Chain A
Amino acid sequence: MALPQSVAVSKRLLIVEDDEATASYLCKGLSEEGYAVERARTGREALFLATDGGFDLVVLDRMLPELDGLSVLKALRAANVATPVLILSALGTLDDRVIGLRAGGDDYLVKPFGFAELVARIDALLRRQPAIEAETTLGCADLEMDLLARKVARAGRVIELQPREFKLLEYLLRHKDRIVTRTMLLDGVWQHRFDPGTNVIDVHVSRLRQKIDHGFEPPLIHTVRGVGYRLSTVP
C-alpha cells in the first residue's frame, strides 16, 4: 500500500506517547510512510518541542505521566500554536471524544486503531486547508461536480444523484487521491460515530460507483482492501 508521495519536503510529525511499544510502532510505521518523525515521552517534553510551532502535526496520547495530554493540548492552544493535533486515547467513550475535541484537538482516534486509519487521518489533517470561499466546483478527470447547482456530470453527461449519494461523492472529491476509511465516511458524510457491523457503507459506495464509474473510463472509485476507498485517477 503506497500513498502518493507528492511531498517535496517530508512533513514533520511529533509523536507524544509514553508506552515504548506503541511509540516505536508508531514511529517506525510513520517514518516508513515518509514522514519525519520525532518522539516525546512526557507532556512537558511535548510542550517544549511543540511550542515553537515547527511541527506539521502532533499525534498526542491522552494518558501521559505528570502532565496529561489534554493539559498539553490546552497549553498549546493557549500559546496560539495552531499545529493540528490528533488525539490518541484508550479512553474511547464518545463523551471522551467530545472533551478531547473541545480542548482543541482536531481529530480523535481510539486505541487500538488500525494503522491505515491513523495514516488516512493524519493525511487528511495535513492537507486540510482553510475553506476556499470561492470554491464552487470539484472535479477529478472528466467528472465534474457543481456545488451551487448541486449537479454532477461525467464526460459531459449529467448524472442524477440522490442527496446522500451527492454528499458521499462530495466527500470523496474533497479527499481526492487520499484514502478515506469507512469510519471517516460515516463521520464526514452522516456525522455519525458508530462502528458499523455489517458492510453498510460499502453498499453506498458500490451504488455510487454504479452511477459514476460504470460505463466510463477511467474508473475513479477504488477499493483499498482492508482500509477503505480512494477517489483517484491512479488505482
Chain B
Amino acid sequence: MPSFASRVFFGTRARIVTLNLALALVVATLLAWTIYLLTTRVVEGEVQNTVQAELQGLAEQLQRDGYLGLVTAIRGRVAGADTDAVYLMTDAFGETIAGNLEAWPPTVRLDGSWQTLELYRVNARRPTLVGLRAFALPGGIRLMVGRDMRARAALAQSITRSLALVAGVAAVLTFLAGFLLSRQLMRRIATVTGTSEKIMAGDLAERVPLSGSDDEFDRLARSLNQMLDRIETLMTGMRTVTDSIAHDLKRPLTRLKSGLELSLREANRDGVASEVVTQALVDVDGVLKTLNALMDIARAESGLGHEHLERLDLGELALSLADIYAPLLEHKGVELTTSLEGSAYIRGHRELLTQAIVNVLENAARFAPSGSKIALSLARAQINGRSTVELRIVDGGPGIPAGERERVLERFVRLDGARGGDGSGLGLSLVAAVAKLHGAELRLEDNEPGLRVVLTFDRSEA
C-alpha cells in the first residue's frame, strides 16, 4: 500500500489538480505580462509625443530669440504648473544655466535619441524615472528635455497589483474547480475499484452500481457488469459440473465398490480367500481417490473455495501435520525438523491447505532417502509494504530438475524416477491450484541436493 503522503502528493487526483493549477497560472501570467507591456508602451508613446512637442516649442524660441529666449522659456516652464516637465541646460563647464535637474548625468547620449534614466530632480531625495532627449548646442551648451515618468511607474504598479489579485483569484477558483471535479472522478473510479475487490474476495453477486447519468463511467460499469454476469454463469456452471460429476460418475463407482465388498465378505464368511476381489477393491479406491483429487483441483482452480477462507495459523497447521508425519519419516530413517514458532495468520481454506501440505510431505516421504532430512520452516517478510509469510518444505531427496519444474505442476505428470510407484501425478497440481486459490506464490527450487517447496502467502493482520 503506498504511503498516505505519496498518495496525496503523487496520486492521479493530485496530478490533475496540479496540472490544472500550473496551466491557469501560466495563462494568467502571460496575459498579465502582455497587458502590462502594451499599456506601458502606449503610455511611453504618449510621453515621447509630449517631449517632442516641447522640443519643437523650444526650438522655435531658440530661432526667434536665440539663447536668451531659450533660457527664458525654460525658466518659465520650470516655474510653471506642469511639474512633470524636466529640463536642464548647462554651459561648457557643466554649470546649470536653467532647469530643474540636479546635475548633468554622465551617461546621457547627446544625439537627441530617446532615453530613460533614473535622475535626481532639484531638492529631491530620491531619483525618479525620466524619459528625455539631449542635444549638444553650439558653444558647448547642452540641453536636455524630458518628462517625469512617475505616472508610468504608478500605472505599472497598479496594473501589477490588480493583475496579481486577479491571477490569485483565478488560481484559487481553478484549484477549487479541479479539486471538486477530480473528487467526482475519483469517487466514480473508487466505486468500480471497490466492487472489483469485493468480487475478487469471492462475492460474485456484486455488480458495479450505475449513476444513471449514462456517461462514460456508466458505460464502463455496464460493460464490467456484463463481464461479471458471464463469469458468474461460468462459475455456476463449473459448480454444477463438479457436483454432477460427484453424483453421476460416483454412482457406478459406489455400486462397484459395494458389490466388491459384499463379494469379499461373503468369500471371507465361506472361508474362501479372494485376492482378485481384494485387489479390485484397492484399484477402485485408487480411481476414486484420483477422481476426488481432480475435483478438488478443478474447484480450487476456479476459485470455488473462496467463500470458505477463514483466518488460520499456518504455523500451527504445518506443525500439526509434521507431528502426524514425523513417526513415519523416522521409521524410514528420515529426520523431520520444524522451525514454526510464532503466529503466522493467513486467510486460508483449512482443508485444501491441509491436503496441499500433506501432498508435499507425502512426496518427500516417498522419495527421501534414509539418512536425509526434511525441514519445515516459516519466514516472515515485508516486501513493498506487503506483509508475507512463507512456508518452506525442504527435503534431501532427488529433487526436481530445473527443466521439469513447470511441467511437474500439471496434472498426471510423474517424473521418470516416480513411475511405477503409487502416486497419481496429481499431488503437485493440487498444491499449485491451492496456491492460486489463496493468491499465494508457489516456487519449486533446488535445495542442492533435494527439493525446496516455497509457498508465500499474504499475512492477515485481522
C-alpha spacing A143/B250, complex, angstroms: 44
C-alpha spacing A92/B321, complex, angstroms: 22
B328 near A198 with CB under 8 A, answer yes
Question: Is the CB of A111 closer than 8 A to any CB of chain B?
Answer: yes
B248: nearest residue on chain A (CB-CB)? A90
B206 CB → nearest A CB, Å: 20
Contact of A114 among B261, B289, B299, B331 (CB under 8 A): B261
Question: Is the CB of A48 closer than 8 A to any CB of chain B?
Answer: no
A93 near B299 with CB under 8 A, answer yes
> Scoring A residues 165 to 196 as 1 if CB is less than 8 Å from chain B, else 0, what string do you get?
00000000000000000000010001111111
A210 CB → nearest B CB, Å: 11
List CB contacts (< 8 Å) of A195-232 with chain B: 195-201, 203-204, 207, 226
Complex contacts, B278 vs chain A, CB 8 Å: 226
Complex contacts, A195 vs chain B, CB 8 Å: 289, 292
Which of A7-15, A19-27, A69-77, A123-131 lies on the face that meets chain B?
Answer: A19-27
A112 near B308 with CB under 8 A, answer no
> Scoring A residues 81 to 115 as 1 if CB is less than 8 Å from chain B, else 0, what string do you get?
00000000011111100100000000000011011
C-alpha spacing A115/B263, complex, angstroms: 12
A200: nearest residue on chain B (CB-CB)? B328
C-alpha spacing A21/B261, complex, angstroms: 13
Please judge, given known A-B contacts A192-B321, A192-B324, whether A95 and B305 are in contact too, CB under 8 Å: yes
C-alpha spacing A19/B255, complex, angstroms: 10
C-alpha spacing A199/B362, complex, angstroms: 10
Please judge, given known A-B contacts A91-B243, A203-B328, whether A164 and B254 are in contact too, CB under 8 Å: no
C-alpha spacing A191/B422, complex, angstroms: 26
B354 near A194 with CB under 8 A, answer yes
Question: Is the CB of B115 closer than 8 A to any CB of chain A?
Answer: no
Question: Is the CB of A29 closer than 8 A to any CB of chain B?
Answer: yes
Label chain B's interface by main secondary structure: helix
Complex contacts, A63 vs chain B, CB 8 Å: 247
Question: Is the CB of B355 closer than 8 A to any CB of chain A?
Answer: yes
B258 near A25 with CB under 8 A, answer yes
A192 near B354 with CB under 8 A, answer yes
List CB contacts (< 8 Å) of B359-380 with chain A: 362, 365-366
Contact of B258 among A98, A115, A200 (CB under 8 A): A115
Complex contacts, A204 vs chain B, CB 8 Å: 324, 327
Complex contacts, A94 vs chain B, CB 8 Å: 308, 350-352
- Which of A98, A112, A190 has its CB near the most chain B CB atoms (within 10 A)? A112
A74 CB → nearest B CB, Å: 20
Question: Is the CB of B29 closer than 8 A to any CB of chain A?
Answer: no
Question: Is the CB of B253 closer than 8 A to any CB of chain A?
Answer: yes
Complex contacts, A197 vs chain B, CB 8 Å: 358, 362, 422-423
Complex contacts, B261 vs chain A, CB 8 Å: 114-115
Complex contacts, A19 vs chain B, CB 8 Å: 251
A92 near B246 with CB under 8 A, answer yes
Contact of A193 among B243, B292, B331, B351 (CB under 8 A): B351
Q: How many residues of B contact A (CB 8 A)?
A: 45
Contact of A22 among B243, B258, B289, B305 (CB under 8 A): B258
A132 CB → nearest B CB, Å: 28
C-alpha spacing A114/B260, complex, angstroms: 10
A198 near B321 with CB under 8 A, answer no
A90 near B299 with CB under 8 A, answer no
A190 near B323 with CB under 8 A, answer yes
C-alpha spacing A193/B265, complex, angstroms: 27
Please judge, given known A-B contacts A190-B320, A192-B320, whether A95 and B328 are in contact too, CB under 8 Å: no
B296 near A22 with CB under 8 A, answer no
A131 CB → nearest B CB, Å: 24
B22 CB → nearest A CB, Å: 56
C-alpha spacing A191/B351, complex, angstroms: 11
C-alpha spacing A182/B288, complex, angstroms: 17
Complex contacts, A114 vs chain B, CB 8 Å: 257, 261
B296 near A93 with CB under 8 A, answer yes
B326 CB → nearest A CB, Å: 9
C-alpha spacing A101/B223, complex, angstroms: 41
A114 CB → nearest B CB, Å: 7
B292: nearest residue on chain A (CB-CB)? A92
C-alpha spacing A111/B422, complex, angstroms: 22
Contact of B327 among A28, A98, A193, A207 (CB under 8 A): A207
Contact of A112 among B250, B305, B327, B366 (CB under 8 A): B250
List CB contacts (< 8 Å) of B253-310 with chain A: 253-255, 257-259, 261-262, 265, 268, 278, 284, 288-289, 292, 295-296, 299, 305, 307-308
The 3 tightest CB contacts between A and B, nearest first, are A94-B351, A112-B254, A203-B327
Can you give 10 contacting A-B residue pairs, CB < 8 Å?
A19-B251, A90-B246, A90-B247, A90-B254, A111-B254, A186-B324, A194-B351, A200-B328, A203-B327, A203-B328
5 further A-B contacts with Cβ under 8 Å, apart from A98-B308, A115-B258, A164-B323, are A94-B308, A94-B352, A114-B261, A200-B325, A200-B328
Residues of A at under 8 Å CB distance from B?
A: 1, 19, 21-22, 25, 28-29, 63, 90-95, 98, 111-112, 114-115, 164, 186, 190-201, 203-204, 207, 226
